[in-house]
Amino acid sequence: MGAGLLGRLLFFFIPSLYLCLMRTVETYLLAFVFTLLTCSPLFSQEFVDAVGQTSEIRFDTQRIDLGNALFTKDSTYVYRFAYENVGHAPLIVNKAVGHCPCITVEHSTEPLAPGGRDTLTVFFKPSHSSKYSQQITVFNNSSKSVITLYAKGTFLKSSDWNKIGKSDPHE
């Protein structure tokens, strides 16, 4: 029995004992159910870890730097974050959001089998030329239920683009 489970048993044993001392059948049943639900190893993280049934998300990279890019009105830049389920249970990305209205994120909400790979696609539409550093928060069902990804880049006006010696904006 792990230390966490023993702690839960002691913490919830005292209220259960009090209910039993009230000496009615209903309180005995209530105490029994209460103890089962709060102390059962079936509901503990130790049990889940022991049988290896957790999902684990691993990104190839959590930071992407676009570098210098030519800023043009209505341009959209695309970042892709590849990830893998390295756990033993299906992985679900529940939600992925940018911390700016200039970012939208596309991702699958279907369960990803253990060993499976997928990609989170981030669309960034800057409103003006500038340096940008943005965060994307990924909510999922793994032990690291919230992960932050980072994307940055410098979006230059055409006059600044030419100053750094770039003539073709698609270089």
DSSP per residue, 30-46: HHHHHHHHHH-GGGSHH
Where among 32, 51, 70 does a domain terminate?
Answer: 51
Read off the pLDDT band of 26 (50, 70, 90): low
Residue 47 counted as domain residue: yes
Q: Considering 11, 36, 51, which residue would you say is the last residue of a domain?
A: 51
Classify the phi-psi angles of 74: left when phi > 0, otherwise alpha if psi is within -120 to 50, otherwise beta.
left
* pLDDT given at position 126: 85
What integer pLDDT is reported at residue 107 of this predicted model?
94
Ramachandran sector of residue 2 (left: φ over 0; alpha: ψ -120 to 50; beta: rest):
beta
pLDDT 10s digits, 115-149: 999 999 999 888 888 888 889 999 999 988 899 99
Which residue segment(s) compose the domain that 84 sits in?
57-163
Residue 171 located in a structural domain? no
Pair (7, 66) in one structural domain:
no
User: One-letter amino acid identity for 167?
Assistant: S
Q: Is residue 168 situated within a structural domain?
A: no
**How many domains does the structure of the chain reveal?**
2
Residues 85 and 134 in one domain: yes
Which contiguous run of DSSP H or E holds residue 163?
Answer: helix 158-163
The mean predicted confidence, pLDDT, of the chain is 76
Separation of alpha carbons 106 and 80, rounded Å = 10
pLDDT-derived band at 43 (thresholds 50, 70, 90) equals very low
CATH code at position 76: 2.60.40.10
Tokens of 118: 């997928």
